[in-house]
Structure 1
Amino acid sequence: MASTSLSLILLALSTFLLVLSPYAQAQKPSAPAPSPSHLNLTGILDKNGQFKTFIRLLATTQIGDQIKNQLKSSTEGMTVFAPTDNAFSNLKPGTLNALSDQEQVQLILYHVLSKFYSLDTLLTVSNPVRTQATGQDGGIFGLNFTGEGNQVNVSTGIIETQINNVLRGESPLAVYQVDKVLLPLELFGAKPPALPPPPAKAPSSAKNATAIAEEPSASASEKSDHSGSGGRNVGFGLAVGLGLMCMGALW
């Protein structure tokens, strides 16, 4: 009888524990979201793989540290578009090496927006959306977003690609994978044709007048010669006439 009572007590206790267990788990506090000061863009990219080139450029341009510091003070959050290693490999050989240090900074900043955007809000923005490269060289450096549903396309005016993967989608930092490097029109667009050199200046009219004044005219010289020979001819004629008159008087 005592053993039967004990078994009933143990059965009731185990049943109570089974009922209580899901409730206790539901009451456990969820892990707090990382604060902006603990967000690590490099860590997010490294965890997902295939972003080694972008990570290297974030380090060499020091934009990775800039984003980390901005997240600590920003109330708007940030959005980063991360090109894959294949995206950089598909660029023309020497594309990155042909850029100056300042242009590499502009290229990476072109992949960063100074506000947190979910995929839904990217479809409702007013294009073009200014990137952090805006103002670096006087250009607009904007991105255009189109699409519908869960598909969002981003265009630079040179290339267009689809946002294929959400690496992080929680405020204050959104990180999206893109399979093409976003090439800004301001750096990679067609350059205006070089202007032709200015024509050589013609001699001024004052110089021409001076040159003409310094050279005696042919007509004046000829007049001088004619007047001199004419004077000699008149003198010779007078002498001959006087001689003839004298001879006539003697005869």
Structure 2
Amino acid sequence: MEFSRIFMISCSVLLLCSSLAYGQAVSPPAPAAMSPSPTPAPAPAPAYVNLTYLLSVAGPFHTFLDYLESTKVLETFQNQANNTEQGITIFVPKDSAFKALKKPSLSNLSDDQLKSLILFHAMPKFYSLADFNELSSKGPISTLAGGGYTLNFIDNSGTVHLNSGWSRTKVSSAVHSTEPVAIYQVDKVLLPEAIFGTDIPPMPAPAPAPIISPTADAPSADSKGTASSSKSSPSTSSSHRIMNSGTWSQLVLALVGAWLLFL
């Protein structure tokens, strides 16, 4: 009897332990810890473009750079280049273009007019050389100088020309053309009608074509005349000889007739 009780208790304990072990075996696993999503890296800041450096190493553009600094337009250009999405396009005359400028003169301009003239050399957007072909069909294009200060573009078989009214020049070369800054060299200072008026002097007439002298082998007009006269001279001399012979014949016949009458 005692053995049966111990046996039953043992079985009950084994059954209970088996149930607990099975419950632990089939229990769902604990959820895995969620790893945090990676934070995207910030976009790199655009490189700073130093216009003073670009104009100093190219050119020479010292006169234009001096005007940029004295009028404080350089700060406006730098801000447009580095702090806007549109960028900037600048047309820079060489030092020789300023030296060649005699009339009108920049020395008589006020500070505000001189500042507007320098601003007139830039557009508030980056334009590549390929974009100028499209601009030529759009008419006047605004500049950083504001309303009334516009440029006309002319694409002549791939060569870009600018017309400001007082100035007609071509884009000689690209000094720098990487977004957001484009710098192009021009042959003349851009003079706007908004400052110098609309009484624009006529453009000088083109130089006449050089006179090509005839080559040594080509006969000239005088030589042709001489040749023709020389050709006609034999016939003239022949006629003179015929006339002279006829006169002598008549004289001889007259003498013979007189002699016969005398006899």
Q: TM-score range by the shorter chain?
A: 0.5 to 0.7
Q: Deviations over 1:166-186 (max 9, x none)?
A: 000111100000010000011
Q: Deviations over 1:129-188 (max 9, x none)?
A: 0001114xxxx1100111145311111012211100100011110000001000001111
> 5 Å matches for 1:108-147?
108-125=118-135, 126-135=138-147, 140-147=148-155
Q: CA–CA distance in 2 between the matches of 1:108 and 1:146? A: 21
Q: Does 1:61 align with 2:67?
A: no
Q: CA–CA distance in 2 between the matches of 1:164 and 1:62? A: 26
Conserved 8 A contact 1:141-1:184: yes
Unaligned 5+ runs, structure 2:
1-43, 200-263
Deviation >6 Å, runs of 4+: none
> 5 Å matches for 1:66-215?
66-92=76-102, 95-125=105-135, 126-135=138-147, 140-190=148-198
Structure 2 letter corresponding to 1:188: F
Q: CA–CA distance in 2 between the matches of 1:35 and 1:187? A: 36
Deviation at 1:120, TM superposition (A): 1.2
Deviation at 1:41, TM superposition (A): 1.2
Deviation at 1:94, TM superposition (A): 7.7
Quickly say closer, same or farther: Cα 1:158–1:174, change in 2 above 3 A: same
Which SS does the other structure have where 1:168 is aligned? strand
Quickly say closer, same or farther: Cα 1:124–1:102, change in 2 above 3 A: same
Q: CA–CA distance in 2 between the matches of 1:78 and 1:45? A: 14
Structure 1 letter corresponding to 2:197: G
Conserved 8 A contact 1:119-1:150: no
Higher gyration radius (CA) = 2
Identify the residue that residue 62 of structure 2 maps to in structure 1: 52
Conserved 8 A contact 1:169-1:175: yes
Deviation at 1:72, TM superposition (A): 2.5
Q: Deviations over 1:5-50 (max 9, x none)?
A: xxxxxxxxxxxxxxxxxxxxxxxxxxxx9935x2011211111131
Deviation at 1:70, TM superposition (A): 2.1
Mean CA deviation greater in 149-158 or 160-169: 149-158
Q: CA–CA distance in 1 between the matches of 2:140 and 2:90? A: 16
Percent identical: 37
Which SS does the other structure have where 1:141 is aligned? strand
Structure 2 letter corresponding to 1:35: P
Quickly say closer, same or farther: Cα 1:49–1:158, change in 2 above 3 A: closer
Conserved 8 A contact 1:144-1:156: yes
Alignment RMSD (CA, Å): 2.1
